[in-house]
Amino acid sequence: MGNLLILSTAFLCLCLFVALLYVLYKYWWVPHRVQFIMNSQGIRGPPYEFIHGNNKEALQMQKEASSKPMALTHDIFPRVMPYDYSCIKKYGKNYLSWNGVRAQLVITDPELVKEVLKNSEKAFSKPKPLYFFKKLLGDTIPTINSEKWARHRKLANHAFHGESLKIVKQREEKVMTGEVDSFGHDFLGLLVNAYHDPDEKNRLSIQDVVDWQDKARAEVIEIFGNQNPNSEGIAKLKTMTMIINETLRLYPPLNGVVRKAVRDIQLGKLVLPNYLDLNIRFIALHHDPDLWGDDVHLFKPERFSEGIVKATNNNAAAFMPFGLGPRTCVGMNFAITETKIALSMILQRYTFTLSPTYVHAPLPNLSLKPQHGLHVLFHSLH
């Protein structure tokens, strides 16, 4: 009996010792080794804190930034991602950060960004999604990899191609044939319904061109008149395209993406260990004065007057609101076309301004959103 007790105690001590070694290895040795490897290559950042990494400080800064509104300016990076903003200021365009025990190389250097996102050797994969996102999105394009992702992507490309321009026409046809009794109750449906108002007094007038809204309205009226948008006209909306691109530059839907080094690999002049994540911050590139000039925080759609390539000086990583490379958002063209349809239909009937009750407080919440809603006043043109 005594020997059995001794053996049990010894086994328990051995298990505890192994567990302690594992904890020390995972939560102390690996992080400090990664930190040493990256520091030796000139990549620095906030020091690793046991277990929680830099999350505690980052969450605190985010909480403080979100607790108060900001001035009505497009310089949103310090509010939307205050921790990243402060680290870039302190450590440079590329720095090492810690998401718990997981090391993250935050990249805002455009050349490195292009190398990661356009990589054809599959050296940088999409990390396994968090449980919450997996449950929320299921097996969809944002959450899957490899062959399964390729199949889904191909199907989605086929589904999105050209479909968005059929939306209005399909709704009209169903109403005309009596299949349904309304154009729908979403925003687009209400706009289509307005175009079929029996009141013949609903005529549009062209305002003087004094700002970008008026320029866009004049373009819409010139191309479509009082008619619903069509595919041929959508392709001619140059002014609206400039406005949309500048808005996406200042307010990118996603702040960034994460990739994982699947093996030890060289990136530029850096040698990365395979347990390193790469965090690419779109918003930092979109608000970088080195890429966009000293007027980077001003709303200037004319930047895009000669197209995206000219606006970015042929630097694809300077403007990527929908990502870059093989995993560029499959719904990009659909979303932009849908936006053009909705904006065209609004501009044909209304002028709009920010409400006095609007509070400027952009907030990253899955995608970038106004924290307190978007309060807009619409004024009928007739």
Average per-residue pLDDT in the chain?
82
User: Which residue, 199, 189, 183, 243, is CA-closest to 380?
Assistant: 199
Task: Say if residue 159's pLDDT is above 50.
Answer: no
Specify whether the CB–CB gap between 85 and 13 falls below 8 A: no
The answer, yes or no, to whether residue 242 has pLDDT greater than 90, is yes
192 CB-contact burial (10 Å; exposed 0-12 / middle 13-18 / buried 19+): buried
Nearest alpha carbon to residue 362 among 280, 251, 288, 285? 251
Binding residues for heme: 329
If pLDDT is split at 50, 70 and 90, which confidence band does 378 have?
Answer: very high
Indicate the pTM of the whole model. 0.78
Residues 196-213 pLDDT 10s: 555 443 333 333 333 899
Backbone angles phi, psi at 204, to 5 degrees: -100, 150
- Binding positions: 329
**Predicted confidence (pLDDT) per residue in 29-66, tens digit:** 888 899 999 999 999 999 999 888 899 999 999 999 99
Provide the token pair at 359.
Answer: 């509070």
Q: 238-250 and 212-224 helices cross at what angle (nearest 10)? A: 140
Evaluate if residue 373 carries a pLDDT over 80: yes
Separation CA 55–CA 311 (nearest Å): 36
Element holding 363 (H helix, E strand) = strand 362-365
pLDDT-derived band at 82, boundaries 50, 70, 90:
very high
Cα–Cα distance, 370 to 352 (Å, whole number): 17
Domains of the chain in sequence order: 33-170+208-380 (1.10.630.10)
Lowest-confidence segment of 12-16, 230-234, 343-347 by average pLDDT: 12-16
Residue ranges of E strands in 146-186: none
Burial class of residue 80 (count of CB atoms within 10 Å of its CB; 0-12, 13-18, 19+): buried
pLDDT for residue 21 is more than 60: yes
